[in-house]
Amino acid sequence: MMPIGSSGLKFRKAAYAACLAVLMTCGTVGAAEVPLVDGTHWTKSAPEVKKAYLVGLANAIQVDVAFQADNPKASMSDFSPKVAEGMKGHTLDTTLAAVDKWYAAHPDQLQRPVVETIWFEMVVPGLKKTK
């Protein structure tokens, strides 16, 4: 993840402006059009698709963390900062491998959303290590 410091202010403003522009120019997407990616989707996807999902998830979290950095009410109780903290030391490859390994070991739980698997199998244990 990109460090957030004084140079991050310019990034935060640019990211916010870019997100706002995208939201304004895109048609509305209904919740039914965007599936919640679960283990069934994950296990049937090519590694490039899995990485694209993880990059999208990481980018959304980075933008939220940057936005919250300017919000005095934001705290470690917020979702994105917790994910960023709990995932320290992980890369795309280690995350992809961990999710692959989890679904391989739990074929009866393919209905579990990938984001939930990342949260409980990686983020929560990572947060316990940082305390």
pLDDT tens readout for residues 53-90: 999 999 999 888 888 777 767 665 688 889 999 999 99
Residue whose structure tokens are 């917790």? 82
Beta strands in the chain (DSSP E): none
Taking CB atoms within 8 Å and a gap of at least 24, the contacts of 100-108 are 100/42, 100/50, 103/39, 103/42, 103/43, 106/39
pTM above 0.75, yes or no: no
Which of 121, 80, 128, 88 lies closest to 102 in space, CA to CA? 121
Residue type, 120: F
Per-residue pLDDT of 111-125, as tens digits, reads: 999 999 999 999 999
Residue 63: how many CA atoms within 13 Å on its side-chain side? 13
